[in-house]
Amino acid sequence: MRKLKRSTSTAVLLATLAGTGALATATPASAASYHCKTSSYTVDDPSYSGPDSDNWDFDVKLCAKRSGGYIYTTAKVNWDGPYSAHQHSSLTFNKARFHLQTKRSTAGKDPVVKYANYTGLENALEHSSGNGNGSYETGTLKTKASGRYQYLADGYIQLDWSGDGKGYRKALLFSASPRV
């Protein structure tokens, strides 16, 4: 009989520990998710005057999230370039970059608290698919958040067209992300 009590006690103890272990390994609430806004811009290639379409259609998704006392911002660029651009894509741009900004939301103009220029956009544009399409993702900016402010992601594309000698042209502006 004594042996039965010990087995029962051991079973109860193991069941209790197993239950505690299950509670200890439960996953925490899901991490914060990005709040994003997508907008578009079409630009004409000023160095091309052929019979085919020479427009570049850009869609930019700007995203921001607040998590663990930090603000994270990122962007994804998709484009539909001209088919003919693929044939001579390495000759289309001298330079291209995406300028990503983390801004603090205030009354009036939102001040930039952190930014980065992502020049890898040029390589991605110059290596578009056979149809002139492609995509590029920036890195992520991480900024310490002040609890009393909201923040957002903003950004623009700058293109330096090959052969025109004008350097970066007017920035292609996109809609900022929602505030977080």
pLDDT at res. 160: 94
pLDDT at 61 over 50: yes
pLDDT in tens, 115-172: 999 999 999 998 988 888 999 999 999 999 998 899 999 999 999 998 888 999 999 9
| Residue 124 per-residue DSSP state | H
- Measured CA to CA in angstroms, residue 178 lies from 49, 61, 73, 103, 106 at distances of 39, 11, 11, 11, 13
Contact predicate 75/116, CB 8 Å: no
Bigger pLDDT: 25 or 59? Answer: 59
Q: In the structure, what pLDDT confidence band is assigned to residue 8 with cuts at 50, 70 and 90? A: very low
Q: What is the pTM of this model?
A: 0.79
How is residue 69 annotated by DSSP? T
pLDDT of 31:
62
- Distance of alpha carbon 180 from alpha carbon 152, whole angstroms: 6
In the chain, the domains with their CATH numbers are 35-46+53-173 (2.60.40)
**C-alpha angle with apex 42: 154 to 54, nearest 5 degrees?**
140
| CA 99-100-105 angle, 5° bins | 130
Per residue in 17-46, pLDDT tens?
Answer: 444 443 333 334 446 899 999 999 999 888
Among residues 76, 71, 83, the alpha carbon closest in space to that of 179 is found at: 71
Q: What per-residue confidence (pLDDT) applies to 90?
A: 61
- Total length of the chain: 180
